[in-house]
Structure 1
Amino acid sequence: MTKRILTVDDTASLKDKLSSYLVSSDFFVSGVAGGMQALDVLNTESFDVVIANNRTADFSGFDLIKYVSELERRPSVILVADEDPRLRQEIRDQAMAYSVNLLGVLSAPIDGELLLSALSEVANLGGSDGQASETGIVETEFMRGLMTDGLSPVFQPKINLKTGKMMGAEAFARWSAPGGGLLGAGAVIKVAREKGYMDVLTYRMLELALQQQGKWRREGQDVPLSINTSSENLRKPDFADVVTGLAEQFGVEPSMVRLEITESDFEVDERVPLENLSRLHARGFGLALDDFGTGFAPLLRLKAIPFDELVIDRDFLSRAAEDETAQIIFETAVELAHKLKLNCTVEGIESEAQLTMSKRMGVDTAQGYFIGKPMSSSEFLIWIEDYKDGVITIPGLT
């Protein structure tokens, strides 16, 4: 089957070179001159791969990755960038954070063999037996990986914007892809929902995250953790007892654990059981309403459920940085959290301007790539020490 490629370049050179490299292959190449044109085309047409210069006059590769992550059918991405290793790593990190399949970061002029090598992965996505999702994870591999070493947690630091102190971390799922590398949380959750294993995924992530938290504690490092859960688990009568049992098994204090419940879960099932949430809260576990602003959970539910944190969705933040009306809505959400006596957290801080605005609006806690990327347990401990010692500094944060 012919694969469709969209090139994004200020000049026609990228499209022309690509067409010459792929003349005898099963790829059809289209081209646009800039980022905004690319968004218009991707909104109306489906492509298998987008190949773009990392920076055009009106767009950057980071912008492209973020936009691709919001598409219903996500194309894979290849970016052409300079050879700055830090920039290349930041591109890879952002792609992973947004669960975008980054096939490669190539240097200009493009090497034809490297390009064909990167594109070879596209031809094999999805498998031939109809059992793989768009992520390329086959159901049998997924279940086997859940019970062995396919799944691993990574940890993103959360910072108090008033004091500058680290307040803990959020645990995210990462999947070790069969061909090497890691798939991000979005890809893992997608296949779990497709195959009906969200409850299994959540239980396994809770087990792995609490196990690591207990290990840190025995090593003298107490790290509060936020861990995502789902409506599927909340409907299980024994969910509160399972979470409590895991905390006891790994020697973790309930007060060091905050469970995040996504607002959209209330749309799926308005009967999200209060009993489990109330029992968990009574036992000392924290509860956070995640992705606030993406759904339509009645505000009265905020009063009925014992939340102690409200997490504002990253899209609220990005819109507020560009639009005065969105700023007003963002500020109102922060005020709502404080009037309900909830800690207000914002996700997705990606620039000093966003951090400064969040501080000005009164946000209590923040996380995002500008502060720290999701890291393995060993990387995270190094980050903690470097941050304490001032080796790592965050511009705009005193």
Structure 2
Amino acid sequence: MVKTADQNFVRKFNTALVLEMVRKEAPLSRASISAQTGLNRSTVSSIVQELLETGFLIETELQGDKVGRPGILLRLNPNGGAFLGIEINVDYLAGVLVDFSTKLLEKRFIPSDPTQGSEAILTAVQHMITDLVAQAEQRDLPVMGIGVGLPGVVDTNRGSLVYAPNLGWRDTPVRDMLQQLFNLPVLVDNEANCAVLGEYRFGISQDVSDVVYLSANVGLGGGILSDGKIFRGSSGFASEIGHAVIDPAGPACGCGRFGCWETFVGTRAVVDLVKKRLPGSGSSLVGKSSVDFADVLSAAQSGDALALDVLGEVGRFLGIGITNLVNIFNPRQVVLGGTLGKAAELLLPQISSTVFGESLLSTHADLRLDASALKEEACLLGAVSLVYDEVIRDPIGWIVKRQNSNHNRNED
């Protein structure tokens, strides 16, 4: 029995190794896989055959100038399955559908209002998922699962949103609700954790394994990657960096405390600061019936003095907080994402000046400060990765899980 269990574990590990290598470096030949993994050719051939039969891989011929039989190369099969990535944020909902080669097939975005309450927002999410699942079915793509990025404190083990101060939600069992509705595997995580994972898999952090990602929207979230893995802390709730206190006498925060970092750098803070300074400023924003972050950014890009001054101050506060993170975690890269990522060109000079001027030389010697490459898709593709990575780790086991889900759906 022990021997069989050991053999099953080794087979599972080797299958994941082969599939991950093809994912990263396709197209590859069986010989290349054998040489790079150290697995013997018969083992590679057996694993590849199973992955071909289950539809995860396809063969393509290399029609080069070589004499003799063309080489057979392997790549991921786009039709091997589909994945949904969903983001529930404070003021919007978004979703994507990707195929097994992670090609983006469909994208959805709708504005949202937290005052609608959780029931109305989750109903909108349900409609979005229903639409994306239908799009997958039209393409004859089996949906492997749904990944969801959530704002606030997320219990990934229970699949629930523990507390989201900017949404006003507490103890919301998002995973269980969606699994019951769709009979599909569902994985959830904090939206900033998803975003840093998205950049690591598909974006600007692919060559970096120690990253701090700032998701600056209405609030400020953080995702920290340490040695290629999400840093979660002892109880799984690490990286709530937006609630690090910058000034105990500062503005009130939605969490109930005062002077949290996000009250100085979130988009709400930007707009509030502009409104406070508008009277008598001579700004191009004067006279607008309402001002939002897009207005401020547009004005700053046009050279508006007030908008530039406010973004400069926000950049300084971002730099102060990032300096602390750099001194504590010593990352190789800090990525500015979320809505404030759209203003990266204006913010990064001030951030850079503060961070490199105030952090310890030993912690910033090889530091990179970058804007998100994936922008609004970072969290969505990271949410996809929650499920995709699990499939890669155990593709055959995931097929069984998917078949069980389909069986349950048919019974319903």
Say yes or no: TM over 0.5.
no
Q: Looking at CA atoms only, which structure, 1 or 2, has the larger radius of gyration?
A: 2
Give the structure, 1 or 2, with the largest relative contact order (CA under 8 Å, sep 6 or more). Answer: 2
After TM superposition, the score normalised by the length of structure 1 is: 0.28
Which structure has more helix as a fraction of its residues?
2
